[in-house]
């Protein structure tokens, strides 16, 4: 049953769209940018996740289980004992660490090429004499064939590998082939002897890989000496994936904000497309086109726009993602672990998902305009008020829905007090709810501003304001879009500033020494570096040094998986640099020194639901041991959490006397640079790889990492504003071009082109101002939700809320600036149009 | 001779799984070819063997092996063939001087196989391990030769050899009591394999060792008894270009005669005149066997899954009055499909004319993999 008018409908539709190219372009740009941001972030996240998975697969090979030890790794003789036991399962020793070759970081993995067949089936090419060279030649390494050719290396060439402990010469013994891109780009393979020597790990293994049949676990676990543990290989991957999950969710939420802004633009464009064709729709109804057909016509148009827009979004998304991936992997490398893949993996699934999200948002945004079109009566209804009249009723309904969303958000937070995704859900409800209040707020704002403007410039001011409040169907979504975008930047900026300020304060409180000396360590290894005792003694006795503190930062196994432990030998000092959240046990300091009390950081306490007085199990050199949690301290160094204990207690429990960092406090009146020079001189003489940093440098470095972490957030924020600017340009254009007749009349009765331009600019300023002012409460609300709910849930960090006045002024200025930019073209166009034309168009 | 299986090149493919060896399996003749012999000792002239000292390793030579084969009867009625070899391969003549204890110059390879005759099953396992951290090695006088949990240990007082080797599929726990003094092969133990001086090995055998102990298969313990044979050989280079492989037999006849014979095959299809063997009768009288004294004629062939054809039954004639022998595999598929591929299996020896079983032994065939 095809309506014969359908062809005509489609033609009318096409003609409309081609005659209003700017409307078309803006709608496409809105959908395109919105979905581009979503696709970009999704691609980046999925690439980072894939990179992580591939890196883990690269490291674990086909092993089902791993024997892992404490901070010092696994003694190599344990492997020999395991192998010599009759009937032991397949196992392989592994030493691994991070090295730098040229500008890139690689994982150097030491394996036993003789017995690794079952474990390293993913690496092909161990033939042709390579194994023999790996065994016999000190420093012989393999890399992937593509990497070798990229670096222009051939077999027998020498390369310099740098690691935290110094530089070593290695020889390319051969190349391997692999299907794993992580291994292709970031893996160097060496014999275990060479790896131990290159990584400074003689005598130790990082782990022992095992291939176990079901049911064999217990026997192997029971046979291990105290201090070693058997873990499923997948457990490490899962733990690593969990670490970064909050980070990924945050990025995804930021990208959805951009899409939300994009949806407003689509709504705006489609509304305009409907309103400007009101007369046409009326005529169509007269000649028999049904409401349903009009409804579908508008949805069809939206679908086409959505398709084109999301296609543009795909291309844009891939381009943006190329830029984002570097930021994301750098953040992950800074905060979590070394990823050796940093290229973008364009997944068709992600693209398809992004397309669906973009199309869905387009169709949803077009629903209201489509319904509007379907309402067209078969009479010529051309008066604007006929369209605007229902708006006043709608305003109230929208406001009710908005308030309903607020209530729902509050309820959601109460029902799910810990989960992250509901927190984001609530955040979005608040944002959408607030934007539904925007029309009502505009009407109220108009009433407030009206008398004021009438006094400032009676005809123009009033005209400008009425232009906004009388065309709410158009201006409200535009202002809402700008409001949401600006509020997003306000919220995120306050959150970042608060976080930054909190971290700065925390650093100042925590870093109490003047000079820090730390042993080299590689980030990917669980094995911590150590300082030479003779060097420490010599530094501690330097003139000018009043007090010292020794620390050991290691990774150990806890009942909750791997956890970082900081063992401190603290000089006696009142506050000891800790600020506690909530109560502490009575015998805190005594217990700490006695070695049966530990402190846990806030993220640890949040993640594992631990509080002062609770028990905590850690896997020591002699097996599981229980500690009492003395208190929860604020710490922003790691979102995985940190356990602090007394260093002598640690040394006894893990049979590890080593110290990885030394803090030196200067005697009063001593000059920092003088003492620094003395320290550096001693360090350079004995252990050049050891790092010496002044308190201020360490703080600066920490803040640098902090800022790097949020670089991507800033980029996403700007993208959201970019989408909003496009939205407001569209809205203004629609507004002004639609009013051409009105403007023509104004010109005809004597308004100058300059005055006309002024009217438009004033109107834009008003819109920007309204958006800017409305963005402040929403932005603050978003900031509070981000700080008090989202970040607390994601990372377990309590932050102080720091609201800077400049930031708020900046937000209003941003909204005004965006509105002004958007006013330029319409103002120019109107001012330039002779009145006769606009009138003749009537 | 033995069994010049392998060697150095075996390492190349060690990273591959036994179930799926690489398409380019090592050719034995390549493995035992020359290479750089600088710094290694050579088998140039006959030497004086000293026992038990010579039961231990000779690390100055590139290759060395302890090669044990045997046929066992179980008290519960089954029969087994078994084969356990320890190969020592020196990667470089001088010892490594490096900080890491994993740095090694000696690599050991263990091959272990069990033939379960009634079940028609032949299972082979391989271990390749460096001499480091006590993972593998050889002690003086053969007091302990081991690759991880596979060990061969000669008791210094009794002179008995003890085998303990466990795999995921089966286990051997055997005591081997030599019934004869060592038999020096070739020219007083110097076994010339190629034309050039030094392309030779030092080679002796313990041809008849009373064996007792138990075999474990699928969790079942079988008490067993039978005869085993130990070949000891060390060299730095042996085969030369033009030599394709060999057929080797060790036969223990019920009348007390032990026979070893290897035939070196040339790549042109001919037989190398340096093929050698020895026959020792019950009284200990030895007869050296040369190429012109012995005929070996294939009777039956077995085709491997890869399409390689192995003769698994032979007619063998020896000088002197005795009957022609028929040497027949207890199971056609006793292929050692490991880093180095060769056929090594238990055989029965029959009177070719009457069909009467005269004894048992082992057959090894290399160089059939193209």
> Does A493 lie in the same domain as A531?
no
Q: Residue A247 CB: number of other CB atoms within 10 A? A: 21
Q: Is B95 on the interface with A (CB under 8 A)?
A: no
**Residues pairing with A615 in the sheet:** A628
Share of chain A above pLDDT 70, in %: 86
Interface membership of A216 toward B (CB under 8 Å) = no
Q: Residues of B with CB below 8 A from A118's CB?
A: 17
Domain limit, last residue, from A340, A360, A382: A382
Using an 8 Å Cβ cutoff, are A578 and A633 in contact? yes
Residue pLDDT, tens place only, A523-555: 445 556 778 888 888 888 888 888 888 888 888
Domain boundary among A347, A382, A417: A382
Q: A635 CB near a chain B CB, below 8 Å?
A: no
Query: Hunting for tokens 């006045």 — which residue is that?
Result: A805
Residue B53, chain A, CB below 8 Å: the answer is no
Would an 8 Å CB–CB cutoff place A451 in contact with chain B?
no
Is residue A794 one of the residues assigned to a domain? Answer: yes
**Which of A171-185, A420-434, A734-748, B32-46 shows the lowest mean pLDDT across its residues?**
A734-748
Shared domain check, A531 and A454: no
CB-based contact (8 Å) between B24 and chain A? yes
A607-636: pLDDT as tens digits = 888 999 999 999 888 888 999 999 999 888
Instruction: Give the model's confidence band at A337: pLDDT under 50 very low, under 70 low, under 90 confident, else very high.
Output: low
Q: What mean pLDDT do residues A685-714 have?
A: 79
Q: Is A129 part of the contact surface with chain B (CB cutoff 8 Å)?
A: yes
Residue B67 contacts residue B232 (beta carbons within 8 Å): yes
CB B333 within 8 A of CB B121: no
H helix intervals, chain B: 28-31
Q: Which two tokens stand for residue B98?
A: 């490096």
CB contact under 8 A, A114 and B129: yes
Q: pLDDT of A573-608, one tens digit each?
A: 444 678 888 888 888 888 888 888 999 999 889 888
Q: Verify that A540 and A678 share a domain, yes or no.
A: yes
Number of domains observed in the structure of chain A: 4
Q: In 10 A of CB A540, how many CB atoms?
A: 13
Residues A312 and A407 both lie in one domain: no
A730 and A816 belong to one structural domain:
yes
**Residue of chain A with shortest Cα separation from B14:** A114
Distance CA A80, CA A89 (A): 13
Do A499 and A535 have their domain in common?
A: no
ipTM of the complex: 0.87
Domain extent, residue A49, equals 1-62+232-382
pTM of the model: 0.73
| Contact (CB, 8 A) for A503 and A703 | yes
Helix or strand holding residue B327 (H, E): strand B325-329
Q: pLDDT band at A789, cuts 50/70/90?
A: confident
Query: Is the residue at A623 inside a domain?
Result: yes
Cβ neighbours of B99 in A, within 8 Å: 196-197, 202
List, for residues A85-107, the tens digit of each pLDDT value: 888 888 899 998 888 888 777 88
Interface test with A, best of B6, B7, B13, B15 (most A CBs within 10 A): B15
In a domain, A107, yes or no: yes
The answer to the question of residue A651 being in a domain is yes
Interchain contact A136–B (C-beta under 8 A): yes
Q: A660 and A527: one domain?
A: yes
Shared-domain flag, residues A403 and A372: no
Residue A251 in domain: yes
- In this prediction, the residues of chain B whose per-residue pLDDT falls under 70 are 1-36, 370
Alpha carbon distance A100, A163 (integer Å): 6
Q: What is the mean pLDDT of residues A449-464?
A: 74
Contact B101 A76 (CB under 8 A): yes
**Distance set, CA B297 to CA A713, A799, B301, B327 (Å):** 82, 90, 11, 10
Q: Do A131 and B133 touch (CB under 8 A)?
A: no
Look up the CATH number of domain B8-35+50-365.
Answer: 2.40.370.10
Structure tokens given for A485: 């975008």
A213 in a domain, yes or no? no
Which residues in chain A have Cβ-Cβ distances shorter than 8 Å to B14?
113-115, 117, 126, 131
Looking at A90-144, which runs of residues are DSSP E strands?
91-101, 104-111, 140-144
Mean pLDDT of A725-751: 71
Q: For residue A788, which of A423, A502, A401, A404 has the smallest C-alpha distance?
A: A423
Query: Would the CB atoms of B100 and A87 count as touching at under 8 Å?
Result: no
Do A9 and A117 reside in the same domain of the chain? no
Parallel, antiparallel or unpaired: strands A140-144 and A166-176: parallel
Note if the bond before B52 is cis, omega within 30 degrees: yes
Shortest distance between the Cα of A141 and any Cα of chain B, in A, equals: 14
Q: Does residue A390 surpass a pLDDT of 70?
A: no
Using an 8 Å Cβ cutoff, are B46 and B190 in contact? yes
Per-residue pLDDT at A410 exceeds 80: yes
Per the CB < 8 A criterion, the answer to whether B16 and A130 are in contact is no
Residue A744 pLDDT greater than 70, yes or no? yes
What residues of chain B lie within 8 A of the CB of A85, using their CB?
Answer: 149
Reference B367, options B263, B222, B294, B274; nearest CA is: B263
- Per the domain annotation, does A215 fall within a domain? no
Of A189, A205, A221, the position where a domain reaches its end is: A205
The answer to whether the CB atoms of B13 and A76 lie below 8 A apart is no
The token duo for A255 is 């990208």
- Percent with pLDDT over 90 in chain A: 11
A221 domain residue, yes or no: no
Listed by start position, the domains of chain B span: 8-35+50-365
Question: What is the pLDDT at residue A391?
Answer: 65
């Amino acid at each position: 049953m095809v309506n014969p008018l359908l062809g005509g409908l489609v033609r009318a539709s096409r003609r409309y769209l081609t005659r209003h190219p700017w409307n078309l372009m803006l709608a496409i740009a809105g959908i395109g940018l919105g979905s581009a941001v979503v696709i970009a972030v999704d691609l980046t996240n999925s690439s980072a996740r894939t990179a992580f998975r591939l890196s883990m697969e690269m490291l674990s090979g086909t092993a089902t289980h791993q024997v892992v030890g404490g901070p010092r790794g696994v003694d190599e003789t344990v492997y020999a004992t395991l192998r010599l036991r009759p009937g032991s399962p397949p196992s392989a020793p592994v030493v691994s660490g991070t090295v730098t070759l040229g500008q890139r970081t690689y994982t150097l993995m030491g394996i036993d090429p003789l017995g690794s067949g079952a474990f390293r089936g993913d690496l092909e090419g161990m033939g042709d004499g390579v194994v023999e060279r790996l065994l016999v030649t000190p420093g012989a390494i393999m890399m992937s064939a593509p990497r070798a050719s990229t670096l222009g290396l051939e077999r027998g060439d020498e390369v310099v590998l740098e690691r935290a402990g110094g530089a070593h010469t290695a020889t390319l013994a051969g190349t391997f082939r692999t299907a794993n891109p992580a291994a292709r780009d970031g893996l160097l393979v060496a014999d275990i002897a060479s790896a131990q020597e290159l990584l400074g790990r003689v005598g130790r293994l990082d782990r022992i890989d095992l291939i176990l049949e079901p049911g064999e676990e217990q026997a192997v676990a029971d046979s291990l000496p105290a201090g070693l543990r058997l873990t499923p290989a997948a457990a490490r991957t899962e733990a690593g994936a969990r670490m970064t999950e909050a980070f990924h969710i945050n990025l995804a939420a930021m990208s959805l904000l951009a899409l939300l802004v994009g949806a407003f633009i689509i709504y705006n464009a489609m509304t305009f497309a409907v309103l400007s064709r009101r007369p046409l729709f009326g005529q169509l109804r007269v000649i028999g086109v049904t409401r349903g057909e009009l409804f579908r016509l508008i949805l069809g148009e939206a679908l086409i726009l959505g398709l084109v827009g999301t296609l543009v979004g795909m291309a844009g998304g891939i381009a943006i993602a190329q830029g984002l991936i570097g930021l994301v992997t750098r953040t992950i490398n800074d905060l979590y672990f070394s990823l050796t893949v940093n290229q973008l993996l364009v997944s068709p699934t992600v693209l398809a998902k992004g397309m669906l999200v973009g199309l869905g948002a387009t169709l949803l945004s077009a629903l209201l305009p489509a319904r509007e079109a379907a309402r067209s009566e078969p009479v010529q209804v051309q008066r604007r008020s006929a369209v605007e009249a229902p708006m006043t009723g709608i305003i109230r309904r929208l406001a009710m829905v908005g308030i309903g969303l607020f209530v729902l958000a509050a309820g959601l937070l109460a029902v799910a007090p810990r989960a992250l995704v509901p927190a984001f859900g609530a955040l979005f409800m608040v944002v959408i709810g607030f934007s539904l209040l925007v029309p009502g707020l505009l009407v109220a704002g108009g009433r407030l501003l009206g008398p004021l403007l009438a006094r400032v410039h009676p005809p123009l001011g009033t005209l400008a304001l009425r232009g906004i409040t009388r065309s709410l169907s158009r201006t409200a979504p535009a202002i809402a879009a700008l409001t949401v975008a600006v509020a997003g930047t306000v919220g995120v900026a306050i959150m970042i500033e608060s976080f930054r300020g909190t971290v700065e304060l925390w650093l100042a409180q925590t870093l109490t020494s003047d000079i820090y000396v730390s042993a080299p360590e590689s980030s990917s290894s669980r094995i911590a570096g150590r300082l030479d005792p003779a060097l420490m003694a010599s530094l501690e006795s330097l003139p000018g040094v009043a007090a010292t503190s020794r620390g050991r930062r290691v990774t150990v196994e806890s009942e909750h998986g791997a956890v970082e432990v900081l063992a401190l030998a603290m000089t006696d000092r009142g506050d000891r640099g800790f600020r506690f959240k909530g109560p502490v046990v009575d015998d805190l300091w005594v217990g700490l020194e006695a070695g049966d009390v530990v402190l846990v950081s806030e993220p640890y306490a949040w993640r594992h639901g631990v509080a002062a007085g609770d028990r905590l199990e850690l896997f020591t050199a002699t097996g599981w041991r229980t500690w009492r949690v003395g208190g929860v301290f604020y710490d922003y160094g790691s979102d995985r959490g940190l356990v602090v204990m007394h260093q002598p207690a640690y040394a006894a429990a893990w049979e590890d006397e080593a110290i990885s960092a030394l803090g030196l406090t200067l005697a009063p009146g001593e000059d920092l640079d003088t003492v620094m020079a003395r320290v550096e001189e001693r360090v350079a003489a004995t252990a050049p790889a050891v790092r010496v940093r002044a308190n201020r440098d360490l703080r600066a470095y920490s803040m640098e990492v902090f800022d790097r972490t949020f670089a991507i957030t800033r980029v996403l924020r700007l993208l959201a504003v970019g989408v909003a600017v496009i939205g407001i340009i569209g809205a203004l254009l629609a507004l002004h071009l639609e009013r051409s007749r009105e403007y023509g009349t104004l010109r005809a009765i004597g308004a100058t082109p300059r005055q006309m331009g002024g009217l438009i600019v004033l109107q834009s300023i008003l819109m920007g101002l309204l958006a800017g002012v409305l963005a402040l409460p929403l932005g603050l609300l978003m900031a509070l939700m981000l700080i008090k709910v989202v970040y607390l849930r994601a990372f377990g960090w309590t932050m102080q809320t720091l609201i800077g006045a400049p930031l708020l002024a900046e937000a209003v200025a941003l909204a005004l600036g965006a509105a002004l930019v958007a006013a330029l073209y319409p103002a120019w166009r109107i001012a330039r149009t002779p009145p006769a034309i606009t009138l003749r168009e009537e | 001779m033995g069994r010049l299986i392998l060697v150095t090149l075996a390492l190349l493919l060690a990273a591959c799984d036994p179930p799926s060896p690489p398409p380019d399996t090592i050719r034995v003749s390549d493995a035992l070819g020359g290479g750089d012999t600088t710094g290694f000792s050579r088998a140039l002239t006959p030497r004086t063997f000293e026992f038990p000292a010579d039961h231990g390793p000779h690390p100055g030579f590139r290759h060395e092996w302890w090669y044990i084969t045997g046929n066992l009867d179980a008290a519960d009625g089954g029969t087994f063939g078994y084969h356990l070899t320890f190969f020592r391969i020196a990667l470089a003549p001088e010892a490594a001087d490096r900080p890491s204890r994993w740095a090694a110059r000696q690599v050991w390879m263990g091959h272990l196989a069990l033939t379960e005759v009634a079940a028609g099953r032949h299972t082979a396992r391989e271990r390749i391990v460096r001499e480091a951290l006590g993972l593998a090695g050889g002690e003086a006088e053969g007091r302990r030769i081991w690759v991880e949990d596979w060990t061969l240990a000669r008791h210094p007082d009794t002179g008995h050899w003890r085998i303990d080797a466990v795999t995921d599929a089966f286990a051997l726990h055997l005591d081997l009591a030599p019934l004869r003094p060592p038999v020096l092969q070739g020219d007083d133990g110097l076994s010339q394999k190629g034309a050039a001086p030094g392309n030779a090995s030092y080679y002796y055998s313990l041809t008849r060792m009373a064996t007792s102990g138990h075999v474990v298969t699928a969790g079942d313990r079988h008490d067993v008894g039978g005869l085993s044979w130990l070949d000891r050989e060390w060299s730095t280079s042996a085969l030369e270009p033009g030599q394709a492989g060999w057929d080797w037999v060790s036969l223990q006849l019920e009348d007390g005669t032990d026979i070893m014979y290897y035939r070196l095959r040339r790549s042109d299809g001919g037989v190398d005149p340096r093929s050698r063997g020895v026959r020792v009768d019950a009284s200990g009288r030895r007869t050296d066997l040369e190429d012109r004294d012995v005929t070996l004629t294939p009777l039956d062939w077995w085709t491997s899954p890869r399409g390689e054809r192995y003769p698994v039954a032979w007619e063998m004639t020896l000088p002197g009055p005795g009957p022609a022998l028929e040497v027949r595999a207890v199971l056609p598929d006793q292929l050692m499909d490991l880093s180095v591929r060769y056929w090594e299996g238990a055989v029965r020896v029959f009177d070719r004319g009457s069909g009467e079983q005269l004894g048992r032994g082992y057959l090894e065939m290399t160089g059939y993999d193209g």
